[in-house]
Amino acid sequence: MKLTQFKYNLPRNLIAKHPKTPRDTNKLMILNREEQTIVTKRFRNIIEYLNKGDILVLNDSKVFPARLFGMKEKTKAKIEVFLLRQLSEDDNIWDVVVDPARKVRIGNRIFFTKNLYCEVIDNTTSRGRIVRFNIKGDFRKYIEKLGKTPLPPYIKRESTEKDKTYYQTVYAKNVGSVAAPAAGIHFTKELLNRIKKKGVQIAYITLHIGLGTFRLVEVEDLSKHRMDSEYFEISKEYADIINNTIDGSHRVVAVGTSVARALESSVITGKHVRSGKGWTDKFIHPPQTLNVVDVLVSKLHMPQSTLLMLVCAFADRDFVMKAYKKAIREKYKFYSYGDSMLII
């Protein structure tokens, strides 16, 4: 398939810029693949479409306040340092993106407080740098105190204290993402408890989402696109529960494309998954199909994005694009803070 087959025009006023509260009141579009029907509910109605014996798989990765703002040592120029991932815990060496990049060279020091700074020790890409912080030991407390929530680039505003709560799932646990696993942000603790009481099992996997999630595909031939690698973990406990669910002929419900990628990157044979940890750069797009996932919870994704392509691999491109056109006509809100889809 070609890149242009995943293009659509979205009015900017349909991009959700703020979270809706309560979390579970957003719209939920139900796509039935077998019946080719599309109906609209509220997210809290998702429980009606989950069956006893199903397993709901959630990504428990936690977004950390990855945006730090400092000044160059001599010129006092303002620099943003966007933390991507820690490369060395002992020395607090990080892979980062800097802005404006033209002002940041190897050997520069960027100060965040009088006593906290980082030194640039290498270049990676045009905006990428490797930096070493002067703090030894646990650096996370400084990030929590000084960092800002890394809102997606299409939300054109500064982050607030509210974003620290709502650009995060209620079950977030393992710190490492710079973008929220957004398909899960509409679950409340109450809704998850109701789902458990219905006899639906819940499993947690971890996939730390990087900035690559917002990177659009730039090649017309999809076979030539290369995904950014993202770290993921699936414990033996939850791999066994997922496999037992499959063996019992019940459904695996993946909450988000990050969960789908982790599961599909772990397939052994047939539909079974293996436990373990590692990195995945798996790119799922039509005409590929998903082996493990039976039901998918998804956001309304950016045009020509790898996330939209994964959804189209699961549900058939024509059907998904028909649903997107309907969502635009009915003024659904799109992207991370927007409305959702349940594809059964």
| Nearest by Cα to 342 from 320, 317, 322, 309 | 320
142 falls in which pLDDT band (50, 70, 90)?
A: confident
Residue position matching structure tokens 């789908």 = 260
Nearest-angstrom CA–CA distance, 29 and 305: 20
User: What phi and psi, each to the nearest 5 degrees, are found at residue 188?
Assistant: -105, 165
Residue 271 confidence (pLDDT): 87
Q: State pLDDT tens for residues 314-327.
A: 999 999 999 999 99
Give the torsion sign (CA, 6, 151, 69, 134).
Answer: negative
Nearest-angstrom CA–CA distance, 32 and 215: 29
Residue 239 confidence (pLDDT): 97
Nearest-angstrom CA–CA distance, 341 and 344: 10
Q: Would you say residue 154 lies in a domain?
A: no
Nearest-angstrom CA–CA distance, 64 and 62: 6
334 falls in which pLDDT band (50, 70, 90)?
A: very high
Q: Would you say residue 266 lies in a domain?
A: yes
Last residue of a domain, one of 115, 146, 177: 146
Six-digit token pair at 251?
A: 């459904």
Q: Are the C-beta atoms of residues 56 and 200 closer than 8 Å to each other?
A: yes
24 falls in which pLDDT band (50, 70, 90)?
A: very high
Residue 246 pLDDT > 80, yes or no? yes
Q: Please state the domain count of the chain.
A: 2
197 falls in which pLDDT band (50, 70, 90)?
A: very high
Q: Is 55 helix (H, G, I), strand (E, B) or coil?
A: strand
The answer on 52 and 7 residing in a single domain is yes
Q: State pLDDT tens for residues 6-17.
A: 999 999 999 999
User: What phi and psi, each to the nearest 5 degrees, are found at residue 44?
Assistant: -60, -20
- 0.85 exceeded by pTM: yes
Residue 149 confidence (pLDDT): 92
The answer on 109 and 50 residing in a single domain is no
Residue 59 confidence (pLDDT): 98
Q: Would you say residue 130 lies in a domain?
A: yes
Which CATH number fits the domain that encloses residue 14?
A: 3.40.1780.10
Residue 102 pLDDT > 80, yes or no? yes
pLDDT, average across residues 240-264: 97
